[in-house]
C-alpha cells in the first residue's frame, strides 16, 4: 500500500489547521545547514540549541557523546525535539562517535566548520553559504575538542567587542543560525528539502501528533480503521 494512502488516512485525525501548519513549516525546512554538538551536558543548553534549530528551520542535529549524555530540558526545548531529526553518536565497541559523525557528514557532502574564537578562522558573515555546511559547537567547558580542531575543514567565529572571550554555546548557535539561514534564503541556491524528504517528514510529524498511533495504523492495515 502506498505511504500516501496511509498519510491521507492519518491526516483525518488532525485538524485542517495542523495539516496546513505542517505544510508551511516544511516549505521552510532545510538540510543545507546542519548542527553538530560535541559532548554537551547541561540540559538547558542542549535544549536551547534544539529550540534554535527548529526556530530557524534547520532539520538535523548531530549529537556526539562521550562521557556526557545529551539530555533535553522540556521546559526550554518546548517540544522542539519532536520536530527535528536527531542523529546520536555514542561510544560503541570499536567505533568512535566523532569519527562516525564526521564520516556521515562528509559522505553527505558537508563542509565541517568548527566554531572557535582562537584559531585561524573567518567571521560567520564571511562564510560561503553556497556549500552545504555543518557547524560544530563544543561543550560548555573546553569548547571544541582538539580532535575536532584537527578534523574540521575550517573555523568560524562570531565578532566580539568586549572582555569576555566567548558566548554561551546556546547563544552562539542562535547567532550563527540566524546569520546563515537569513543569507541562505536570499542566496538563490537550492536549500529546500527534496520532495522525498518532505513526504517522509510529513508522515513522521503526523504520526507524532496522534495519540495511540500504532493502534490506529494497525486498524488501518487490517482494513477496519476509519478517521474520526
> Grid coordinates 560561503 are at which residue?
128
Considering the domain architecture, whether residues 108 and 87 belong to the same structural domain is answered as: yes
Considering the domain architecture, whether residues 61 and 92 belong to the same structural domain is answered as: yes
Considering the domain architecture, whether residues 62 and 20 belong to the same structural domain is answered as: no
Considering the domain architecture, whether residues 186 and 200 belong to the same structural domain is answered as: no
Considering the domain architecture, whether residues 210 and 117 belong to the same structural domain is answered as: no
Q: How far apart are CA 147 and CA 145, in angstroms?
A: 5
Return the pLDDT at 226. 55
Considering the domain architecture, whether residues 69 and 146 belong to the same structural domain is answered as: yes
Return the pLDDT at 225. 57
What phi, psi does 30 have (nearest 5°)? -145, 150
Q: What residue ranges of the chain have pLDDT lower than 50?
A: 228
Considering the domain architecture, whether residues 179 and 144 belong to the same structural domain is answered as: yes
Considering the domain architecture, whether residues 156 and 224 belong to the same structural domain is answered as: no
Cell, residue 171: 547563544
Return the pLDDT at 97. 93
Return the pLDDT at 45. 86
Considering the domain architecture, whether residues 17 and 64 belong to the same structural domain is answered as: no
Return the pLDDT at 167. 84
**Structural domains of the chain, count:** 2
Q: How far apart are CA 187 and CA 181, in angstroms?
A: 10
Considering the domain architecture, whether residues 21 and 123 belong to the same structural domain is answered as: no
Q: Which region, left, alpha or beta, applies to residue 138 given φ > 0 means left and ψ of -120 to 50 means alpha?
A: beta
Instruction: Give the three-class secondary structure for 151.
Output: helix
> Residue 200 sits in which domain range?
1-29+192-228
Amino acid at each position: 500500500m502506498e505511504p500516501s494512502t496511509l498519510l491521507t488516512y492519518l491526516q483525518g485525525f488532525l485538524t485542517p489547521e495542523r495539516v496546513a501548519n505542517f505544510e508551511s513549516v516544511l516549505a521552510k525546512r532545510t538540510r543545507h545547514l546542519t548542527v553538530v554538538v560535541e559532548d554537551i551536558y547541561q540540559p538547558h543548553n542542549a535544549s536551547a540549541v534544539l529550540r534554535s534549530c527548529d526556530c530557524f528551520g534547520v532539520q538535523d542535529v548531530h549529537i556526539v557523546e562521550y562521557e556526557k549524555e545529551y539530555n533535553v530540558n522540556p521546559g526550554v526545548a518546548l517540544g522542539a525535539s519532536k520536530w527535528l531529526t536527531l542523529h546520536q553518536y555514542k561510544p560503541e565497541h570499536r567505533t568512535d562517535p566523532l569519527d562516525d559523525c564526521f564520516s556521515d557528514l562528509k559522505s553527505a557532502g558537508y563542509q565541517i566548520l568548527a566554531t572557535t574564537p582562537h584559531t585561524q578562522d573567518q567571521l560567520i558573515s564571511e562564510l560561503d553559504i553556497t556549500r552545504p555546511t555543518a557547524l560544530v559547537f563544543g561543550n560548555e567547558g573546553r569548547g571544541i575538542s582538539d580532535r575536532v580542531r584537527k578534523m574540521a575543514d575550517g573555523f568560524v567565529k562570531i565578532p566580539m567587542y568586549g572582555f569576555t572571550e566567548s558566548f554561551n554555546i546556546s547563544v552562539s548557535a542562535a547567532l550563527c543560525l540566524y546569520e546563515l539561514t537569513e543569507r541562505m534564503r536570499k542566496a538563490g541556491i537550492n536549500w529546500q528539502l527534496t520532495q522525498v524528504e518532505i513526504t517522509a517528514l510529513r508522515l513522521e510529524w503526523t504520526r507524532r501528533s496522534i495519540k495511540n498511533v500504532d493502534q490506529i495504523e494497525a486498524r488501518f492495515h487490517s482494513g477496519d480503521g476509519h478517521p474520526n
